[in-house]
């Protein structure tokens, strides 16, 4: 089975091409399927490439996550993975696209002829082009500052995006490069070929010689790589460490630690961690944090995710064997959830990060499980143990208990609880009835502490989005109720009851004068009937106008829903 998969830069979203050419987006934090995109026009084609972009939009500080999918038809589809909607289509007119990279403002595509195109994301039009000296490009990478584009096949070529011209080039041999990417600090390029080695290039020294800065030796041919850059303390020094992971063709994973300071790179070419899967094939991997990898497995026609800790207690774990993939706890505990179910969520749910808050010790009650007799105790225990099932069971109480519990909670616990609740709200809308009263009370009673939390506005952006969505939905439902009441009142007005009545005139054959009087009366009655018919016609016109207004209301309702 060929696998087309990708992770976003924050390692929070995982996308893959699934059955029936569906593009499925997962939350890699909890393994839930968030949304599926289906293009009915592409049923006879295949999606061959996927690429994520994650960036800050400086205008309003909104966090954006976009995904592009390349079809064998030559069309490139762009999706918003926050609101889960299609943002547009790029018509490349090429059925031989070999690589794609998505940035903040531009999309870059390469084809089998070596032509590189830069597309404006807003207009979906070509803005610039570049012809590579190589006939084909196997992989591309964009640095985090989006100032350089790297092209790879047999050679490595750096493109300066200020003028869209070649700035540096190095020959790497006859074997083509499979994957290339920048480190997060934009100082190194890491690439792998269809071999058992991974090359690291210092960008500043690319023109000096054709040799790599450092070579990592894997235990087998590599399929894909992942890189994570972070800083660590060594004595009194702060140094940059580059964690590099490689997924091998044998479904194993190797992990290396490379340092910017060469004195720490003794024997850095050999893996510090080797991960083996006993019974399942690993289809993709990525760093979830500086101590964990997230692996995706394919078993029984569905994907599973497993987080594997490779660094614990300040040391790397040399050898790890994954017995069988287990879905994340809050997914596997939900027996009713079907794996094929698509969960559509509002807001930037998948980007939620839960901050680690140092929780103080609550005297007596939380020191032992036996003494945990209140909701405060249960919440404190569940937060310390990171026990989602215990937390969910303890917050299912009435509103008066919620108010008392929130007031009794220390502020650090309240903030930690708020972070947890926002995660639940973002990933599962069915919990909103339970979660929202808690969120409301926490914000009211612990506002002073919350205002001291750094970047609180960004961390609560998911809450703003969800509340706004629910507010707009409430308005629509209110309009809907009003229009249904209008329909009901119209239906009620159409109902009439028949009544028995006595005739208003009785004719008696008497004298001619009486006959004339009777005839006169009949004429007057006819006139009254004519007037009555006239009024009846007017009432009918009003009914028609009411019906037309009702049709307009229903049409407006349908527009609102769309």
pLDDT for 167-208, tens place per residue?
988 887 767 899 999 999 999 999 998 889 999 999 988 776
- The answer on pLDDT for 355 being more than 70 is no
- The answer on pLDDT for 254 being more than 60 is yes
Q: Alpha-carbon torsion 201, 204, 209, 214, what sign?
A: negative
C-alpha distance from residue 418 to each of 331, 355, 412, 446 (Å)? 21, 10, 10, 10
pLDDT at 108: 96
Q: What is the pLDDT of residues 483-526, one digit of tens each?
A: 888 888 776 655 555 555 555 565 565 545 545 554 555 444 45
- The answer on pLDDT for 13 being more than 50 is yes
Q: What percent of the chain has pLDDT over 90?
A: 30
Helix/strand/coil percent split, the chain, to 5:
30, 35, 35
pLDDT at 439: 87
- The answer on pLDDT for 357 being more than 60 is no
Spatial CB neighbours of 87, under 8 Å, sequence gap ≥ 6:
66, 78, 79, 80
- The answer on pLDDT for 343 being more than 70 is no
Taking the whole predicted model, whether its pTM rises above 0.75 is answered as no
Q: What is the pLDDT of residues 293-339, one digit of tens each?
A: 988 887 666 677 888 999 998 899 999 998 765 443 333 344 333 33
Which of the two residues, 542 and 95, has the higher pLDDT score?
A: 95
R_g over Cα of the chain? 34
Stretch 220-235: mean pLDDT: 91
Q: Alpha-carbon torsion 153, 157, 161, 165, what sign?
A: negative
Cβ atoms within 10 Å of 114's Cβ, excluding its own: 17
pLDDT-derived band at 372 (thresholds 50, 70, 90) equals: very low
**Beta strand ranges found along 203-301 (DSSP E):** 214-217, 222-234, 237-248, 252-259, 273-277, 282-287, 292-299
Which of the two residues, 270 and 364, has the higher pLDDT score?
A: 270
Stretch 11-17: mean pLDDT: 86
Q: Which two tokens stand for residue 29?
A: 């934090």
Stretch 416-434: mean pLDDT: 79
Return mean pLDDT, the chain.
Answer: 77
Euclidean distance between CA atoms 357 and 452, whole angstroms: 13
Give the distance, in angstroms, between the CA of residue 211 and the centroid of all CA atoms in the same chain: 40
Q: Which of 254-263, 278-287, 360-369 has the highest mean pLDDT?
A: 254-263
Q: What is the dihedral of CA 419, 425, 427, 428, to 10 degrees?
A: 140
């Amino acid at each position: 089975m060929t696998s087309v998969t990708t992770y976003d830069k924050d390692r929070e979203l995982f996308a893959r091409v699934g059955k029936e050419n569906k593009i499925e987006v997962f939350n890699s934090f909890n393994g839930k399927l968030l949304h599926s995109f289906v293009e009915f026009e592409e049923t006879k084609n295949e999606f061959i490439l996927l690429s994520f972009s994650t960036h800050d939009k400086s205008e309003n500080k909104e966090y954006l996550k976009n995904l592009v999918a390349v079809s064998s038809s030559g069309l490139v589809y762009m999706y918003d993975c926050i609101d889960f909607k299609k943002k547009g289509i790029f018509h490349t007119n090429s059925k031989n696209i070999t690589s794609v990279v998505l940035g903040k403002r531009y999309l870059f595509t390469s084809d089998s002829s070596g032509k590189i195109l830069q597309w404006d994301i807003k207009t979906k039009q070509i803005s610039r082009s570049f012809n590579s000296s190589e006939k084909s490009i196997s992989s591309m990478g964009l640095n985090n500052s989006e100032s350089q584009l790297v092209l790879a096949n047999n050679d490595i070529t750096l493109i300066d995006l200020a003028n869209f011209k070649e700035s540096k080039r190095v020959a790497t041999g006859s074997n083509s490069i499979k994957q290339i990417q920048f480190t997060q600090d934009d100082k190194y390029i890491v690439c792998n070929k269809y071999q058992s080695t991974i090359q690291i290039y210092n960008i500043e020294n690319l023109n000096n010689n054709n040799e790599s800065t450092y070579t990592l030796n894997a235990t087998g041919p590599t399929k894909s790589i992942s890189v994570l850059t972070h800083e660590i303390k060594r004595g009194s020094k702060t140094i940059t460490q580059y964690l590099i992971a490689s997924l091998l063709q044998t479904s194993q994973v190797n992990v290396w630690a490379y340092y910017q300071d060469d004195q720490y790179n003794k024997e850095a070419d050999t893996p510090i961690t080797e991960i083996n899967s006993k019974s399942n094939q690993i289809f993709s991997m990525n760093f979830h944090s500086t101590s964990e990898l997230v692996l995706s497995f394919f078993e029984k026609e569905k994907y599973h995710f497993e987080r594997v800790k490779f660094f614990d207690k300040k040391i790397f774990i040399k050898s790890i064997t994954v017995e069988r993939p287990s879905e994340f706890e809050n997914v596997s505990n939900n027996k009713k959830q079907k794996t094929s179910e698509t969960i559509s969520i509002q807001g930037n749910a998948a980007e939620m990060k839960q901050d680690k808050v140092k929780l103080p010790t609550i005297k007596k009650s939380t020191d032992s499980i036996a003494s945990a007799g209140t909701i405060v105790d249960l919440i404190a225990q569940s937060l310390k143990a990171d026990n989602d099932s215990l937390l969910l069971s303890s917050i299912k109480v009435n509103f008066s208990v919620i108010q008392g519990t929130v007031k009794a909670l220390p502020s650090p616990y309240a903030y930690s609880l708020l972070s947890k609740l926002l995660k639940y709200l973002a990933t599962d809308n069915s919990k909103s009835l339970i979660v929202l009263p808690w969120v409301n009370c926490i914000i009211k009673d612990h506002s002073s502490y919350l205002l001291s939390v750094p970047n609180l506005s960004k961390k609560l952006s998911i809450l703003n989005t969800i509340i706004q969505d629910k507010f707009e939905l409430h308005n629509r439902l209110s309009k809907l109720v009003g229009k249904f009441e209008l329909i009901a009142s119209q239906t009620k007005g159409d109902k009439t009851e028949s009544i028995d009545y006595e005739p208003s005139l009785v004719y008696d054959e008497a004298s001619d004068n009486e006959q004339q009087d009777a005839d006169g009366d009949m004429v007057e009655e006819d006139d009254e009937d004519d007037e009555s018919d006239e009024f009846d016609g007017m009432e009918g016109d009003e009914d028609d106008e009411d019906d037309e207004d009702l049709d307009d209301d229903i049409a407006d309702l349908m527009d609102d829903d769309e």
